[in-house]
């Protein structure tokens, strides 16, 4: 502070110029920090939204998603639309939806996906379920209800899942498949 006073006494213009330079540097630093904080906040929001929405699943040992609910989980899905006597959401051209659920893995789980439409027959033929990076076979596909059993994985407390088709099988509308609901429940 005494250096500013000395500078002011020597040249008030030089002192104000020094203060203006310092304020400019502080403003630039504040802008950089604000941008970094916004990026961090976006990442935290994404992670917390995905995780907080599934915390109760660990207590209940199940997780369900109905297409009528607001979409907080999946990146490449369209708005909800009517489907016969129910509702559905189309998955975009990526051909994939998935997430990480906080479920105790010492248990086996029943996995059900109510699929309404596939963009093409080839999309239907390539439809698969991935659990923790491993492809699971469908045990039943009757009436669009795709079912399988997920094996236990002791020591893990998360279940990573993905439903996908080969993106090359998407139709000209750039959609892959539509679903009405997803259910994962401990046996």
Full DSSP string of 91-158: EETT-EEEEEE---TTS-EEEEEEEEEESSHHHHHH-EEEETTEEE--SB-GGGEEEEEEPP-TT---
User: At 6, is the secondary structure helix, strand, or coil?
Assistant: helix
Distance of CA 78 to the CA centre of its chain: 14
Q: pLDDT tens digits for 71-125?
A: 888 989 999 999 988 999 999 999 999 999 988 899 999 999 999 999 999 999 9
Q: Which two tokens stand for residue 91?
A: 């998955």
Task: Provide φ and ψ at 89, rounded to 5°.
Answer: -130, 135
User: At 87, is the secondary structure helix, strand, or coil?
Assistant: strand
User: At 178, is the secondary structure helix, strand, or coil?
Assistant: strand
Query: Does the domain formed by 60-186 have CATH 1.10.3470?
Result: no
% of the chain beyond a pLDDT of 70 = 90
Q: Provide the 10 A C-beta neighbour count for residue 101.
A: 22
The answer to whether 138 touches 147, Cβ cutoff 8 Å, is: yes
The span from the CA of 111 to the CA of 146, in Å, is 8
Q: What is the pTM of this model?
A: 0.68
pLDDT at 7: 75
Strand order in the sheet with 159-164: 96-101, 159-164, 128-131, 134-136
Could you tell me which of 84, 60, 87, 89 has the C-alpha nearest to residue 72? 89
pLDDT at 34: 85
Task: Provide φ and ψ at 84, rounded to 5°.
Answer: 60, -120
Q: Give 179's pLDDT tier (boundaries 50, 70, 90).
A: very high
User: At 4, is the secondary structure helix, strand, or coil?
Assistant: helix
β 128-131/159-164 pair status: antiparallel
Q: pLDDT tens digits for 123-143?
A: 999 999 999 999 999 999 999
DSSP character for 160? E
């Amino acid at each position: 502070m005494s250096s500013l006073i000395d500078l002011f006494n020597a040249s008030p213009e030089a002192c104000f110029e020094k203060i203006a330079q310092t304020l400019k540097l502080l403003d630039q630093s504040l802008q950089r920090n604000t941008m970094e904080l916004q990026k961090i906040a976006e990442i935290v929001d994404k992670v917390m939204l995905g995780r907080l929405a599934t915390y109760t699943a660990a207590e209940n040992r199940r997780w369900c998603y109905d297409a009528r609910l607001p979409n907080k989980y999946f990146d490449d899905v369209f708005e909800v639309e009517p489907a016969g006597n129910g509702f559905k959401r189309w998955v975009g051209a990526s051909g994939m939806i998935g997430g990480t659920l906080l479920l105790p893995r010492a248990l086996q789980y029943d996995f059900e996906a109510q699929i309404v439409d596939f963009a093409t027959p080839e999309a239907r033929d390539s439809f698969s379920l991935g659990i923790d990076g491993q492809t699971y076979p469908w045990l039943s596909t009757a009436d669009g209800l795709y079912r399988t059993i997920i094996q236990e994985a002791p020591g893990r407390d998360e279940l990573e899942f993905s439903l996908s088709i080969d993106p090359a099988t998407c139709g000209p509308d750039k959609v892959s498949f539509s679903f009405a609901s997803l259910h994962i429940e401990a046996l």
